[in-house]
Amino acid sequence: MTVEVKVEVEETQMGEVSISEEVSSKKQVVQESKPTTVQKSSSYKEESNFLSDLKEFEKKALIDLKAKLEEAILGNNVYKKEEEPKKDEKAVEESAEEKEKAVKEEGEEAEKSTEESKPECAATEKEGEKEETHEVVVEGKSTEESKPECAETEKEGEKEETHEVIVEVVDRDISLWGVPLLPSKGAEGTDVVLLKFLRAREFKVNEAFEMLKKTLQWRKDSKIDSILDEELCVDLSSAADINGVDREGHPVCYNVFGVFENEELYQKTFGTEEKRSHFLRWRCQLMEKSIQKLELKPSGVCSLLHINDLKNSPGPSKKELRIATKQVVGLLQDNYPELVAKNIFINVPFWYYALNTLLSPFLTQRTKSKIVIARPAKVTETLLKYIPAEEIPFKYGGFKRENDYEFYGDDNSVSELYLKAGMTETIEIPAPEADATLIWDVSVLGWEVHYKEEFVPNDEGSYTIIVQKGKKIGSQEGPLRNTFRSNEPGKVVLTIENTSNKKKRVMYRFKTKKSPSS
């Protein structure tokens, strides 16, 4: 005869400590107001992150997203629940058999104990004392027996049963790019981060929320928060460089694809799926380094400028590069939304347009609107629209040289003038004292001009000294730097004659270094 003993525990025994954090929040059901169209940013300047500057539908979307995020974080619903590992079917069956056997044995012991206690129970009933009743189900029939010792036996059985107490700890410190995400914390950068996801999804709250959750899950699974501490085996320092800022203060990252023309480096980077995986991780690390230079708050600079140099880059015939490029584009677009203000492609060869056609379906319209393309002859001119000449590297027609400490602070600023067709202009660099060293940089966009340098003394009785003979400078010439040490007061005169039929843009800067003895 089998016996089932049903025990329901509604309260934990005294002495047990249960730690649980109850978070009550009002659930608001709101319908998203969907704008008919999303306006593109016509200006290069970043869109405002101040709440007062947002449109009404944008404010509403931000408020709704913050409410959903608050509820998700406090409800521990941001990350996927970790599933317990499945047991073997055999192990499950064996466990079920053991439990069934234990229940049988427990039932037989209870029945035996009941029979042994009948005399005592009967005696107790005759005395008229009322005892606690306990319900035992035997083959579907219920019997009530007054038996103190039986109750004690069953209570001992209850004590032997173990009950797991699940303690759920709410992680209120979830953050992204160093910014706390729990809206009720009131962090200055929370709105900035959430607006990036909203703008990436055209202010559709549910889509932005899902994108944010996927990004957080990806970062957790890929251990992105600790990626800056990793020493990756791939040496790609020549392939990318974070160098200077643009006119709006955005950090500039130069991606140089021409280094992969080297077959050895190409194979080391893209040769196998594992190597491409290392490359993607290196690219994530570079992005995280770039983000550290941002100031994620409404008044700060919150995005980057990317310059992609395609000079000597392997063409689309390289299958591995195509695969890696597609993966990088998807990874950055899905997990780093609105962190790149502009993507400028320079030295673009003809094959790029074919590659762009392949990648275009994977790009959002908003991403496409941020792409700028410059052919080799227009590189410097294009970069100057976004970056000041003193911040553009020398190899791209700017005045910034590696390990150059001649110009800094106020001396670093560049002056400009425009030279009409057929006209001549002079730039004068004063040398008010003897034994002074004059240093200057000069460049003309597209050159095609006649240029000379000479020192003219203040003393009319002294001779003019030719520093640089007059010569015609071709269109491929980069910026020029020269120095002159004067033995007497005077000035260096730079003469530029525009022999072309186009207006020319002239950039220059100079400084005077006094002799140490003076």
Distance CA 184, CA 449 (A): 63
pLDDT of 351 reads 75
pLDDT average, residue stretch 97-119:
57
Contact 232, 269 (CB under 8 A): no
Contact 157, 181 (CB under 8 A): no
pLDDT of 356 reads 72
Give pLDDT tens digits for 310-346.
999 887 788 898 889 889 989 999 999 999 999 999 9
pLDDT average, residue stretch 477-491:
94
Give pLDDT tens digits for 349-382.
887 777 677 667 777 778 788 889 999 999 999 9
Q: Is pLDDT at 472 greater than 70 in this prediction?
A: yes
Distance CA 73, CA 26 (A): 14
Q: Which CATH number fits domain 56-74+172-222: 1.10.8, 1.10.3470, 1.20.272, 1.20.120?
A: 1.10.8
Give pLDDT tens digits for 26-44.
434 333 333 333 333 334 5
Contact 492, 453 (CB under 8 A): yes
pLDDT average, residue stretch 293-317:
92
Q: Which CATH number fits domain 410-514: 3.40.50.970, 2.40.420.20, 2.60.120.680, 3.40.50.261?
A: 2.60.120.680
- pLDDT band for position 309 (50/70/90)? very high
Distance CA 146, CA 129 (A): 10
Contact 301, 248 (CB under 8 A): yes
Give pLDDT tens digits for 163-215.
566 667 888 999 999 999 999 999 999 999 999 999 999 999 999 999 999 99
Q: Is pLDDT at 8 greater than 50 in this prediction?
A: no
Q: Is pLDDT at 76 greater than 70 in this prediction?
A: yes
- pLDDT band for position 85 (50/70/90)? low
* β-strand pairing of 415-419 with 504-514: antiparallel
The DSSP bridge partners found for residue 176 are: 179
What is this structure's pTM? 0.73
- pLDDT band for position 126 (50/70/90)? very low
Single-letter amino acid, residue 451: Y
Of 6-15, 110-119, 246-255, 477-486, least confident by mean pLDDT is: 6-15
Q: How many CA atoms lie within 13 A of 62 on its CB side?
A: 21
Q: Is pLDDT at 7 greater than 70 in this prediction?
A: no
pLDDT of 83 reads 62
Give pLDDT tens digits for 406-465.
888 777 889 999 999 999 999 999 999 888 999 999 999 999 999 999 999 999 889 999
Q: Is pLDDT at 224 greater than 90 in this prediction?
A: yes
- pLDDT band for position 141 (50/70/90)? very low
Q: Is pLDDT at 105 greater than 90 in this prediction?
A: no
Residue 327, CA distances (Å) to 145, 323, 330, 360 in order: 73, 6, 5, 13
State in Å, rounded, how far the first CA of the chain is from the last one. Answer: 115
Q: Which CATH number fits domain 228-384: 3.40.50.300, 3.30.70.1350, 3.40.525.10, 3.30.1540.20?
A: 3.40.525.10
pLDDT average, residue stretch 268-289:
93
Would you give the DSSP letter of residue 280? H
pLDDT of 325 reads 86
Would you call 342 helix, strand, or coil by DSSP? Answer: strand
Q: Is pLDDT at 220 greater than 50 in this prediction?
A: yes
Give pLDDT tens digits for 399-423.
999 888 888 877 788 999 999 999 9
Please report, for the chain, the start and end positions of each structural domain, with discontinuous segments joined by +.
56-74+172-222, 228-384, 410-514
Distinct helix (H) and strand (E) counts, the chain: 12, 18
Q: Is pLDDT at 385 greater than 90 in this prediction?
A: yes
- pLDDT band for position 106 (50/70/90)? low
Residues 420, 425, 430, CA angle at the centre, nearest 5°?
150
Mean pLDDT, rounded, of the chain: 80
